[in-house]
Amino acid sequence: MVPIPIVRELQGRLEAKQAAFLGGTIHASGAPAIVIPQGQFTIAVGGKRKIIDGCVDFLKEVAQTIICLPEPWMPKAFKIAVIMYSTANNIATAEICSWLTAQGADPKLFLQLLRTTGSQASAARLEEFMKRNNNDGGALSNSYKDIRQALEVAAELQIPMPLLSMANQIQEMGRASGFTRLNSPAAMGKLYELITGTDLSGATMNVDKKLPESRESRVVYLGD
């Protein structure tokens, strides 16, 4: 994906020439290799409302949901923010499962506890980690690039990001261990098995891939 600073630079240059410019990213959950060809995914697009409106009919032919944002650089920034969340969650969950497993506690019982107590957000994160062998989601190599880009932007803005910096170092460990091509949850699971000596095979679950239901395309405007 094009780095955020380049998106901003392109925006400035094209607007100076009175040219229209939109930025966009694709968001596909579940099984991207299947849902993207079927058009069952979301496109986040950023730019001026009148420019977006002129492209909506085309975008509705391509994607199931079109989320419209006010600036061309925002789709990229928000996509990276999603990766930042998921990266931190994957690492924390792998660490928690290792800690429980080392004590003889079944992480699946912990999942049941979370569901029973109504901790739905935590349960969803743990369940997503446990489904890591389904080979859904992006590879560690892709999330690593996004996290590096997030840190580069933070450096330019002179914003300290200690948590993300540590997460990036853990990703480096995963890359050095040969887990680059695995999806991020699976890579973190393998890495923590390696560094903790625990067997996390009990912290997995087989779930059939659920494709999103087909429906008419919709357009959502945010920030208006």
Clarify whether residues 24 and 96 are in a common domain: no
Q: What is the distance between the alpha carbons of residues 151 and 172, in angstroms, rounded to a whole number? A: 14
Residue 106, both tokens: 């079944």
Contact 28, 207 (CB under 8 A): no
Mean pLDDT of 8-14: 79
* Domain that includes residue 25, residue range: 4-75+210-221
Q: How confident is the model at residue 42 (pLDDT cuts 50, 70, 90)?
A: confident
Q: Are residues 144 and 59 in the same domain?
A: no
Domain count, the chain: 2
Q: CATH number of the domain that 69 lies in?
A: 3.40.50.720
pLDDT, one tens digit per residue, over 70-116 is 998 899 999 999 999 999 999 999 999 999 999 999 999 999 999 99
Q: Are 145 and 161 members of one domain? A: yes
Are 134 and 199 members of one domain? yes
86 and 196 both lie in a single domain: yes
pTM for the model: 0.84
Q: Are residues 62 and 97 in the same domain?
A: no
179-193 residue pLDDT tens:
999 999 999 999 999
Task: Please check whether residues 9 and 96 belong to one and the same domain.
Answer: no
Say how far apart CA 183 and CA 192 lie, in whole Å: 14
